[in-house]
Each structure stands twice: as structure tokens, then as C-alpha cells.
């Protein structure tokens, strides 16, 4: 069971850690990376104790932005004489 549920908007982005963080009661920070979020992970863990939180976020906000697939032209019939 997680310690708490926290909205991603309530977390802070840490350039140093390259992770979203949220204060842990032990004095350290819960952490979750963008890569974790892209992979569908929703658990942010504290590196100093056994607590973890559930991060509430929209997975679409962290999905890889891939260009739309270009449709290949359909093959055209060739007239054979």
C-alpha cells in the first residue's frame, strides 16, 4: 500500500536528479523519472526509506512524440499489351 497519492502537478522537477520529486516524511525525496512515466510506471520511491507514493498523471502527457506514419501510395495497375 502506498504512503499517499500525489498529482504530478504537485511534484517538483529536479534538473540535478532528472526526476520529479516530492518530500518524504523521512526528510529525503520521493523520485520518479520521465522515462519511468513513459513506461507507465506510477510509483515514486524514496531512496532513504521504504515508503513510496502513487503518482497520478496522464500517460499521454509523457508518451513519446512520434511523427505520424506516412501512408505509402497504393500500387497502380500496369497495363500489359
Q: What residues does each domain of the chain span? A: 5-62
**What does the radius of gyration of the chain's CA atoms come to, in whole angstroms?**
21
**Cell numbers linked to 73:** 501510395
**Cell numbers linked to 23:** 518530500
Structure pTM?
0.75
- Among residues 17, 68, 64, the alpha carbon closest in space to that of 44 is found at 17
What CATH fold (topology level) applies to the domain 5-62? Microbial ribonuclease fold (3.10.660)
pLDDT of residue 75: 73
Mean pLDDT of 1-10: 94
Mean pLDDT of 44-72: 84
Band (79; pLDDT cuts 50, 70, 90): confident
- In the beta sheet, which residues pair with residue 20? 13, 32
Mean pLDDT of 53-61: 94
Whether pLDDT at 25 is above 90: yes
Whether pLDDT at 64 is above 80: no
Spatial distance between the Cα atoms of 12 and 29, rounded to a whole number of angstroms? 10
**What is the longest distance spanned by two Cα atoms in the chain?**
83
Whether pLDDT at 59 is above 70: yes
Amino acid at each position: 500500500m502506498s504512503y499517499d497519492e500525489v498529482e504530478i502537478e504537485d511534484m517538483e522537477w529536479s534538473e540535478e536528479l532528472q526526476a520529479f520529486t516530492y518530500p518524504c516524511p523521512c526528510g529525503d525525496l520521493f523520485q520518479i523519472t520521465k522515462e519511468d512515466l513513459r513506461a507507465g510506471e506510477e510509483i515514486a520511491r524514496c531512496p532513504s526509506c521504504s515508503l513510496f507514493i502513487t503518482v497520478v498523471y496522464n500517460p499521454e502527457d509523457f508518451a513519446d512524440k512520434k511523427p505520424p506514419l506516412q501512408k505509402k501510395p497504393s500500387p497502380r495497375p500496369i497495363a500489359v499489351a
